[in-house]
Chains A and B, each alone.
Chain A
Amino acid sequence: MNKMVKITIDGKTIDAEEGANLLQVARDNGFDIPGLCYYDKVSPTGACRLCLVKIKEQKGLIPSCTVKVSEGLNVTAFDEELEDVRRTIVELLISEHKLGCMTCDTASECALEDLAYRYNVTVDNLPFPVKTKYESIDDSSPVLAYDPNKCIVCGRCVKACYEIQGKGIIDFIGRGIETKIAPDLGVDWKNSACDGCGECIQACPVGALFEIPSVGKARKWEVEKIETICPYCGVGCRIEVEKKDNEIVRINGVDDGPANNGRLCVKGRFGYEYEMSNKRLRTPLIKENGKFREASWDEALTLTARKFSEIKKNYGGNSIAGLSSARCTNEENYIFQKFMRAVIGTNNVDHCARLCHASTVAGLARAFGSGAMTNSIRELEFADCILVTGSNTTETHPVIATYIKNAVLNHGAKLIVADPRKIDLVKYATLWLRQKNGTDVAWLNGIMNVILNENLHDKEFIKNRTEGFDEFRMVVENYTPERVEKITGVPKEKIIEAARIYGTAKNASIVFSMGITQHTTGTDNVLSTANLALLTGNVGKLYSGVNPLRGQNNVQGACDLGALPNVYSGYQKVTDPDIKKKFEEKWKVALDDKVGLSVVEMMNEAHKGNVKAMYIMGENPMVSDPNLNHVEEALKNLDFLVVQDIFLTETAQLADVVFPAYSSFEKSGTFTNTERRIQLLNPVLKAPEGAKEDWEIVQELALKMGYEMQYNNQSDIMEEIADVTPIYGGIHFYRLGKDGLQWPCKDENDPGTLFLHKGKFSRGLGHFSPVDYIPPAELPDKEYPYILSTGRILYHYHTGTMSRKVSVLNEYEPGPYAEISPELAAKLNLKDGEEVRITSRRGAIVTKARITARVAPDSVFIPFHFAEAAANRLTNDALDPIAKIPELKVAACKVEKM
């Protein structure tokens, strides 16, 4: 904080921070100076000229939004002359503004409307005739429309697009009175690079930019606004939901949302239609003779309890397995794993984190003692070097990408991108390393080899804070840039340059995601990123660290709360007798001390007939898991399958019993985002009649099976979590408020932890691991000559159960496709949009070709959201030996034109 100074506004003395924005200070102190272009999240523009003030000893009228506070500033904010100027400016604006207020969705929250009222300006009392002609509206985008006749050309959208979202798609076109805004210098919105995040709408002070899906749904004063957490990715954006009559009208980013600071992506803002879908499940279903019929809760629960009890009795608890859910709340995950462990009597509980970040949890726990993002999301903006690898952040964590772009565009940070695909972030990068898929250990070792050779390592940090350096060094010494170039295909000069940029940075941060984790060497890859941070002392301090981005809204929480086969909540090992004893006492039941089955192992055991029944809560392995043909056979081989979900998913269709659940818009509870922040949900809408909250369903099942479980609500469950989980020890609903708390949070007085490992690693010393490069399990050969990789895209989410029920998202991206390089397309004589058959050793799909230089010449990329051409029919279920994560990022395939 800067020093405080005294200024005077209209004779009143005010204490203000030196350098603060004068307009903001004035407003904060009750001087309601008007202004339309000022927007506190972007640099001042000074264009509307409404905030003009007089400053003693300075010439003329000065836009207060462009003035920084300094000692002794003597300001006149209001006098006759200033108000006269302001009134005239409002008159000019009104003369140019289409007064469509009667049908405007912004009416009553329009800044111009307020000013017209304040200065009593109407189109009838203007001192000149109005001759303005109207232009057509651009409503070609799926999500947003622009009415130039309402636009006041304040430029807030232009700056929001560039300075906040880092996209720079919107700009002014035309000059003078013809000036308006447009994407990509004047193309239709539909044909522009706009990805529909809607930041511009949120920045628009009038109704010039507006949400198409909200048009005509409700006047602003009719809606109720409730804040909750976005149901999509792991960023955990705080959203404000506007609703009317139990329907969502509009979603806005919450300006002081701790992770998103008001920002959202297209899914967060526009992806809510599924919530009101008529395909929601409303009653339990029981399958009889291959067909579902509706059933009462009592019947379905009784049947399930009886089946589970029988199988447990006949084959033992370990013949049952459960998949918990990264979409459900922390409390529900806790209850689910408790149910599996205490009621069923097995550690066979896992969830889809196995498929995304199991190797992160394993690797970072080994290196640092804690398997989560070391830093907070918004610290990224202030790192001076960011290494992004295996994360197409723009599409998978769109709001996090904005902070990376801010770092580059607004603060001059250097960005290194290591990715086989030319992802969007490459545009912002100082350096792009295009490694061959699955060679990450090699290039990371290469960078560390150069750092050591050039003496850029942090000797002090290595000496005081780490162990295992010498063994590590011996391995890394073998990875000369020349050798690394041969393995990875990255020119040695780039390896050297990357080493110098990262090695000389003051605050370097590594961001990674599934391009690093989804390999048979996933744990090794993660260990290598940790080695790099340890080597340069870039961990354990503000802005510097190792930051795995978690994919789903509550995947961090599902792991934290023990939906894993080896640990109870808070990563407490099932094999530790003291821990086991603690939980046995708490849960009043004997527990198993053997590590349970992981996701892919469950499917393998089901396939073999060793797992007889499964309980799946809010997951869809029939799309999300590798080697789907095998998964399908496994699930069909079960004696009994129970699925609870909000929709009849591909997996639910195979179930014997289906329970209808609440969505996250309908319930309370907490999600833990990727930066370890536990945030409170608020019920926004009433759930469909007949559905129940997931924890209630589990509790009722437990009761039916004779286990005493009596929670009144999710808050009750959190009290038990806090009691048994040291890292959540200080988490109570009443403490969470708007900002939540970041674990570790040990007790009621603990304010939580912004970044990890300050002064000391969770495990004591940071551990260097010597890691050698091992090639992927399956490499291209004559029969399957191309590399197949899979991943997510911006417009859809996970298995599409939610996003594919949203018409505007479908408009952007209606169905499956495969990215194919121009080189490969030429070889196959393939045109864009034509169908191809892609085959691996495990299956084949037919999909559309999208010809793009994003992919390397010999590679194919397929988004995995689309069940009808499911990428996972092709993927390899070979596992990382430590983390049991399958190698979803590398498989060999062949491509044929249909």
Chain B
Amino acid sequence: MINFSHVYKTYPGSVHALKNVDLKVEKGEFVFLTGPSGAGKTTLFRMMSAFDKITSGQIEIAGYDLTKITENEIPYFRRRIGVIFQDFRLLKDKTLLENVSLPLMVRGDRSSQIEKKAYDLLDQVGLSHKAQQLPEFVSGGEQQRTAIARALIHQPGVLIADEPTGNLDPRLSEEIMDLLEKVCAQGTTVFVATHDHDMVKRRKKRTLQIRDGMIVGDLR
């Protein structure tokens, strides 16, 4: 499902963000990526979501070779994955329901189906009663749950999350991780970048360790 082979990423000024990264994640796996700030977690995340191009090597995700992907193919690749950010990235002038509906709207689904699916997803994350609220009027945890619902509504094969609990308190963080495990249990591959070592230890999942742009550990 996710395959990195000899991946290098160098930024201008000879900043080596990723060095010879090799990793393989199977369908339905739950994987944590941990490491200190500046180790390369976000760079890896950006490569996986096609927000940046690698310098050399090969990345294959959900059947797409990201080293050969064209600009026109990028939107279609992103419809096969779900992405969650630390800062939620919700549209502030749209309701939670409209935010969750967005991936289906851009795909051109029928509006009656979109609304039903969006309500179902909001219900699954426990927010159907706040469907018509704007993001600024709900808590951080609720915003992140909305972002997760948005990332899942088009039933992606892979869910990539960059520090999804970084802006949340411990109780809300546990809630979000429970939700992600539930998603994984339904067959979605979940890849979570985090620096919260305590949470990683508690969850007992496969954990990749990155340092100075290199994968230095793979604990199963």
A and B found bound together: no
Chain B residues engaging chain A, CB cutoff 8 angstroms = none
